[in-house]
Structure 1
Amino acid sequence: MGKSAQVRVIDNIPVLGLSEEDAAFYNSITEKQRKTIIRKVDLRLVPMLAILYLISQLDRANIGNAKIEGLSEDLHLVGNQYNVVLALFFIPYILLEVPSNVLLRKFRPSVYLGSLVTLWGIIMTMHGVVNNFGGLLAVRLLLGVFEAGFYPGAVYLCAFWYMPKELATRIAYFYCTSALSGAFSGLLAAAIALMDGVGGYEGWRWIFLLEGIATTLLGVLCFFFLVDSPSLSSGWLSPGEIRFLELQTFVKQGGRFSEQHSDKRFNWYEFKMVLTNWRLYLQAYILLCISACSYGTKFTLPSIIKAMGFTNNTIAQLMTVPAYVAGGISSILFAYLSDRFLWRMPFIAAPMLLITIGYAVVMGFNGKLGGSHTGPGYFALVLTCMGIYPVHPSATSWAANNLAPANRRAIGLAFCICMGNIGGIIGSFMYLDKEAPTYHTGFGLSLAFGASGVLAALLLELSYIWANKQKSKIPEEEVRAQFSEDELLKLGDKSLLFKYTL
């Protein structure tokens, strides 16, 4: 960076500390050139994250497929032991997300995330050789430890490479694999379960063994193919492209401390700013609602469909596929529209309404989805999947767009996601075997989460509109007269020059 000058408005963002030379170079890049550069980033970053997120979702949700292939009976699980196993995964998963994102800033993402993927792949393989409830608890606990850092790290990595208007779509590209993982899980489970008896192992064990080995191999590939930062990408980016992407990072933060680029120690001030940001708790609640609905569905959908009358295990596995495919398509469509209009709230509230409507239909049937209710009931479940999967990309993008500087964004994103993942614990206990096939508790809570999520999104929107109006009342010249450049940078999203993304 050259010597700093006055505040400059770049891409409608007030930027502090950008030199005249750098500003001229940044503005000289045409829209066509920008699209070419971003397309290069897309091709290197998004497919890798999509594959990794797909495998992470497969590895945490395939236990639902293994269950109907005989896992509970072979391991002699009784009462709510299966639900306890599901919930235990989320304890370390929640507790370690923020520390993991702090650690991520100390290492190259390819090394750190690659290590996590490799380790959880080994743990997933071990699922296939457990022989009792205690063994299953142990491997689920370790799986939560090593999977904890991947999703918040992936979102932070995307927030580092992309501008706010590009973020939701990119997150959706890899998050939609969360829905597709349900489809793949059903297809894979149906095929792998046919190996029942091979090598003396039950079919459900082969589900864990083969998927675990595949995950381990992908983890090793991360060390070679996952991109890190523009400055470390000379092999596939030109010097001019690297300079543009580094300036883009500077611009979207509105400037940065000169020492922030190199100082990677944990910043307690930024942690305090995250904890005292009441809007982040609303963001986290939306993610909690979606996590509860998502995990409740993933862990139980094969069993729900089986209770609808599809008693053949293979048919029940395959009938989960259309619902998840619809969810994946819905995720990309809503995220595209969210980025197209650079407006998050409608593309969070509308899917939450789909969840509410879907579960209202199911509850209208009193949870009895068999017989004459099979068609409408199955359609309602598809509708809920179309509502579940678009929310997370838009919600996490909304949080990332409204956090600055980079340290606060990394901590704040991990905080939102880890708080939201408390919903995974709730989702683990929502659908109880003793309530099958009506599942009053599961369907009722899902309906309540959908409706309350709509209200939370509307409240957030109104609060951001009000805050932007309050900030706009004070002229920029007056703000710069009251605060030094470093003080404004330290304030980050609390600065009067920072405008919230709606």
Structure 2
Amino acid sequence: MAEKDAAVMHLENQPGNGISVEDAEFLANFSDEAKKKVIKKVDMRLVPMFVLLYLVAYIDKTNIGNTKIEGLLPSLNMSGLQYNIALSIFFIPYVLAEVPSNIILNRLKRPSQYLGFLIFCWGVIMLCTGFVQNFAGLVVIRFLLGLFEAGFLPGAVLVISKWYLPNETQTRIAILYTSAASGGAFSGLLAFAIAKMDGTAGLEGWRWIFIIEGLATVAMAVACYLLLLDSPSLSPGWLSPDEIRYLEARQQAANGHSHHEGFNKRILWSVLADWKIYLLILANWSNAVPNYALKFNMPDVIQSMGYKAANAQLLTIPPYAVGAISAYTFSVFADRYSWRMPFILIPQCSLIIAFGILFSKAADINDNIALCYFCLCLACFGMYPILPGVNAWNVCNIPNPHKRAVAIGYLICFGNAGGIVGRFIYKADERPQYPTGYGTSLAFTAAGIVAALVLEFSLWKANQRNALMSTVEIEEKYTEDQLRDMEERSPLFKYTL
């Protein structure tokens, strides 16, 4: 297991700051071998389930892009603008419901029940999409899908933050998020296979994509209800009493409090007024805008290279596979060194290169097929490490679990708001050069680079300023209660860079 960051180590040795003397001694005496064993047990049960669930969520959210090239638009007499509206309407409830959903989830003892309910609802909605008859019906379906899918990703990140220490989160979030990249690859392959059912029971192939994938989602909802981990205290069947105590005690130490008051308006305001989260949002948009734009239009982009629909579906697989490998690799190093910024900045620079080349060469795409396809792979290489890095950076610097729940939802909420922009930047009448799509992606990536660098410098300066005061000076100036109430603003807290 990676070393604990300085803030966690300090809190573990401060009995008044969230952990008793007995628990501090227990943590100190809990062997490294036992620590590795219990974390591996959690990994084997929690992470695979979330990977499967997010794979399903991703496919259900983006399969409309696959159905588009299988005849969705002419079947429903829709225009390209109406298609973009149907994509965007999803994000209105998706964005607005994320923070409230995380507040609800944070108050519940059994995340499995709440998340299982959400997944079941959107699975039924996905199934119904296969029978929609017009544009208006598709808009209603997409709105409801966004409403019920909203709580899953912030909920998953919140649950992960309750089981792992801050400097263990990015790798787990990355593994979760690689299922999105894998989902992009698998979605194309699955759509390619299901579309061959065209004409079965008198239904078009694109309808069967929604129906089959909706049924699979309902089955996963049942699995979530039965198998998703809730908390260490509710896991005596596979955790020993000492393992449960270890997992709970180290979370108390990491949070810096033995108890917290529940959610209140002060916590919400502290998130809204936190300047750091807005820089993280900008950094997140360097992933969200180009990623959402590309994931719904990649089959179209590849088709513009001269490939038929079936081959275009299959050729979406390698770029997403590259993204999955990239997200995991960068996150392993970020957790190992407890340093987030470089492993966000390097992928962002890859995006600048990828979209810069596409912006300049896509007008002659038929003469630059290999180069442009390579840039699609490079774009996925750059996009997928950013979200795990940004979310882990957020979690690492918020010790209060109630504020963390709101901040996770708020960051993901505004990150997904970037998806609304992404819906409209690939214009059908600009095919195949897509200057608006590639140019807008470049602009948001550049803004994200600036945000990441400003945040890094600001947190470094704060740590330098706090280091000027000794622990004795700090304890003379502030009471224990004051230091606890200051949370990450405490001079004893060391920001993760």
TM normalised by structure 2 equals 0.96
Which of 317, 323, 329 is residue 321 of structure 1 equivalent to?
317
Say if 2:25 is the partner of 1:24: yes
Determine the C-alpha separation between the residues in 2 that align with 1:241 and 1:303. 50
Corresponding position of 1:381: 376
Match of 1:137 among 133, 136, 139: 139
1:429 aligns with 2:424: yes
Distance 2:238 2:193 in 1: 39
* Displacement of 1:26: 0.6
Residue 54 of structure 1: how far off its partner (Å): 0.6
The answer for the alignment partner of 2:104 in structure 1 is 103
In 2, are the aligned partners of 1:405 and 1:489 still within 8 Å (CA)? no
Which of 351, 356, 364 is equivalent to 1:360? 356
Query: Which residue matches 1:271?
Result: 268
CA separation in 2, counterparts of 1:339 and 1:277? 24
After superposition, residues 194-273 of structure 1 pair within 5 angstroms as 194-257=196-259, 260=260, 264=262, 266-273=263-270
Distance in 2, matches of 1:294 and 1:19, equals 45
Equivalent residues of 2:362, 2:434 under 8 A apart = no
1:148 aligns with 2:146: no
Aligned-partner Cα distance in 2 for 1:215–1:146 = 13
Tell me the alpha carbon deviations over residues 190-233 of structure 1, each in whole angstroms, 9 at most, x when there is no partner: 00000000011100000000001100111111111000111111
CA contact (8 A) 1:125 1:211 kept: yes
Paired amino acid for 2:248: E
Q: Structure 2: which amino acid aligns with 1:195?
A: M
Offset from partner CA, 1:310-368 (integer Å, 9 cap, x none): 1x111010010001101101110111111111110000000011111001111121543
Which residue pairs with 2:175 in the alignment?
173
2:347 & 2:101 partners in 1: Cα distance? 30
Deviation of 1:490 (Å): 2.2
- The gaps in structure 2 that reach 5 residues or longer are 1-5
**Which amino acid in 2 is paired with 1:355?**
L
| Distance in 1 of aligned mates of 2:305 and 2:244 | 55
Deviations 1:56-83 (A, max 9, x none): 0000100000000000110111241100
Deviation at 1:12, TM superposition (A): 4.6
Aligned residue in 2 for 1:67: 68
SS of 1:188 mapped into structure 2: helix
Q: How many Å separate the matches in 1 of 2:176 and 2:8?
A: 29
1:351 maps to 347
Runs of 4+ in 1 over 4 A off after TM superposition: none
Q: Is residue 7–residue 492 contact of structure 2 (8 Å, CA) maintained in 1?
A: no
* Number of aligned residue pairs: 488
Q: Could you tell me which residue of structure 2 aligns to residue 491 of structure 1?
A: 486
Instruction: State how far apart, in whole Å, the 2-side matches of 1:256 and 1:471 are.
Output: 24
Distance 1:480 1:131, change over 3 A: same
The answer to whether structure 1 residue 450 and structure 2 residue 451 are counterparts is: no
Counterpart code for 2:487: G
For residues 106 and 149 of structure 1, the distance between their equivalents in structure 2, rounded to whole angstroms, comes to 14
- 8 Å contact from structure 1 (residues 65, 317) kept in 2: yes
Q: Output the CA distance in 2 between the equivalents of 1:363 and 1:17.
A: 53
Q: Work out the percentage of aligned pairs sharing the same amino acid.
A: 45
Offset from partner CA, 1:254-298 (integer Å, 9 cap, x none):
2333xx2xx54x321111111111110010111122111111011
> CA contact under 8 A between 1:123 and 1:143: conserved in structure 2?
yes
Can you list the C-alpha shifts for 1:80-100, whole angstroms capped at 9, x where unaligned? 110011011011111111100
Q: Distance in 2 between matches of 1:225 and 1:341?
A: 32
- 2-side partners of 1:250 and 1:340: how far apart? 22
Matched residue, 1:4:
none
Q: Residue type matched to 2:9 in 1?
A: D
Change beyond 3 A, Cα 1:24–1:74: same
Matches within 5 A, 1:293-304: 293-304=290-301
Contact 2:286 2:348 survives alignment (8 Å): no
Cα RMSD over matched residues?
Answer: 1.4
- Could you say what secondary structure the match of 2:258 adopts? coil
